[in-house]
Chain A
Amino acid sequence: MSTDVTSSTPPTPVAAKTDGGFSINSLLQRDLGQLPVLAALVLMAIYFNVSSDGLFLGSRNLSNLVLQSTVNATVALAAVMVLLIGEIDLSLAVVANLAGAVMVTLSVYHGFSAVAAIIAGLAVGALVGLINGLLVAVVRVPSFIVTLAALLGYTGLLQHLLLPQTTIRLVDANLTGIAANYLPDWLGYGLPILGILGYAAYAIFDYLRRRQLTLTTIPLWQLVVNIGVVALLSGLALYQFTSYLGVPISTVIVLGLIIVFWVVMRFTTFGRYVYAVGGSAEAARRSGINVSRIRVMIFVLASSLAAVAGILESSRTISASAQVSPTLLLEAIAAAVIGGVSLFGGRGSVWGVLVGSLVIGSLINGLILQGRTSDIQYMVEGLVLLLAVVVDALLRRRSAVVGR
């Protein structure tokens, strides 16, 4: 199929088969990236549900699953940011613990208020990210090495900070409440409704604007279906939470972060530049983009997100620990990759975090329900990660051929 211009053809309009601005289809292609993973998630849910006699999909278990996945999802979101510019950050999990430790120490020993302690924790994350980012972007040390050094150094700093103990118990009720408390009903229902209305308003506005500019639009029925699907999914999630204890505050924070980062990455110049730097740093530089600035900002954002994860983790475990979870970072990167984010930069969406984290979270949760121990869990996790990458590689190779 050739779309080439021959010199004899008279000027005709550009082929008008541009796809509509925003559709579930384009969302799947561009933002979720892979139906296979979604299908796998559904199959997995059905399998675990059957094998656990309906326990898995019970609202209590699902609420727990989501709560358990929040920390992983936040670190995965941080990992996605760094992966999108084609870099890596090995220090994310340690930075999470460090930020949690700073927050807990300040709250317990120095009488900081909850807000002040949280801000201090976030500031530590941002500072670490700034140092990492400057070393990577300005000094041009490979990010693998910079963040490996950070991983080692901050592990030591973390242990030093908590001496002579290895864990400190968190007492501030405001801080422990982040993970333990649920939204009041009016907010629990209000926020999702606000979200759906916001999406509907955007979708309709976008549709009308494209008509006005005589760009191709999606058919009207599809617009209605899109809004309906978003409303249905939000409604299902909301029903699931409210039929147990309500919407956990930590879940709202993580979902909010995913939505905010998705909007930033997809609809702003900053997001566009991040993808450009990940795609071709040289092309971005020649287009007048300050590549170093983007790199530094991404490392600051990623470490700050890691700090959020650490704060959530401290709140959930009611403590700060010198012991960094050996799997947190690796599972976060696994979640990002399962969610369709390329390790080579420039490809993947923030929404992949949600899918990937749910896959990892469901696996662990489901295997525990089956009474499997961690030896089996790790082996299955490894297998699933490998499977996801292989399927992704095969699909990509096919679409590369079809795309021509």
Chain B
Amino acid sequence: MAIEAQNARTTEPVLQLHGINKTFGAIQALRNVDFEVYPGEVVGLVGDNGAGKSTLIKIIAGVYTSDAGDYIVDGKKVTVTRPQDATKLGIETVYQDLALCDNLDVVSNLFLGREEASRFPFFLRFLEQNDMEKRTQDVLRQLDVKIRSVRAPVASLSGGQRQSIAVAKTILRNAKVVLLDEPTAALGVPQTRQVLNLIRRLRSQGLGVVVISHNLADVFDVVDRVVVMRLGRRVASFDIKSTTTEQVVAAITGAEFGDKTNGQGADAAEIAEEVH
């Protein structure tokens, strides 16, 4: 049974984690986890609550530091101890709460913290508002995001549009990998379609995209590969084209491997390791 999909790729991963371990006190949140994203690939990261998805994402984003393991970007080993480190390497995370300023317009939000501005005679920096508006239109067009007015406050936009703005913000920062935390949670059907379309756009731009989601339908709709976490281990990686929902659910719950160890499911992960 092929649990690990063979990545018949010639390129190297844009982001790779190897042998990641993380403990919080007595709890081992991650055990020897590997993870990789290739350029132009959408990876779904799924698993039950407490499986270690969030911990893994936070380590990638630089919010947590791993106890052991390698963090490799473009084949080079790097050290990421702060969110700024990840951002500098082009690894951007879009959290569920999006972190937008509702009172500011689309342009202001996109460029927040990295405005194009000129140094005037004084210590003040004057905004290049028109240039930023132009670039906003370009980026939104590139991502096929339609917004009535880029000067409208973000509060007046729909959930899908807000998600798009949050993602476009990462594009402006020249992201190589975009991590999306539950991007379709709390969205309606057309909104969800809009966001999935956006993810495909990111892929076609050659970015690596990681989608954390509870919604398997969305995952199957958009990802190329799905990585399953269970009880702090990576238990499987499926190529989406040759996989059924049942297989993924089985990997998430551990049902496929039975429960020989009183529900701990440890050996299931070991089986996965062997196949890997």
Q: Point out residues on A near B: beta carbons under 8 Å.
A: 2-7, 9, 11-15, 17-19, 21, 206, 209-210, 213-215, 264, 267-270, 272, 275-276, 278-280, 282-284, 286-289, 346-347, 400, 403-404
Contact = CB atoms under 8 A, between A and B. Distances in A.
B161 A3 contact: yes
Interface residues of B, number: 51
Interface string B85-121: 0000000000001111111100010001111010000
A344 to B, nearest CB: 10
Contact of A210 (B102, B130, B145, B149): B130
Interface string B133-166: 1100100110011111111110110101100000
B113 A289 contact: yes
B130 A209 contact: yes
A270 B130 contact: no
Contacts of A404: 156, 158
Contacts of A280: 99-102
B192 to A, nearest CB: 10
A278 B103 contact: yes
Secondary structure at chain A's binding surface: helix, strand, loop or mixed?
A: loop
Nearest to B191: A4
A313 B137 CA distance: 49
B101 A279 contact: yes
Instruction: Return the 7 tightest CB-CB contacts between A and B, nearest first.
Output: A287-B113, A279-B101, A403-B156, A279-B103, A346-B103, A288-B113, A283-B99
Secondary structure at chain B's binding surface: helix, strand, loop or mixed?
A: mixed
Contact of B193 (A7, A18, A214): A7
A14 B97 CA distance: 25
A371 B127 CA distance: 50
B124 A288 contact: no
A266 B29 CA distance: 47
Contacts of A209: 130
B196 interface: yes
Contact of B148 (A15, A21, A269, A289): A15
Given A14-B140, A18-B150, A270 B99 contact: no
Interface string B220-241: 0000000000000000000000
A282 B124 CA distance: 24
A21 to B, nearest CB: 6
B100 A215 contact: no
Contacts of A15: 146-149
Given A14-B146, A18-B133, A284 B112 contact: yes
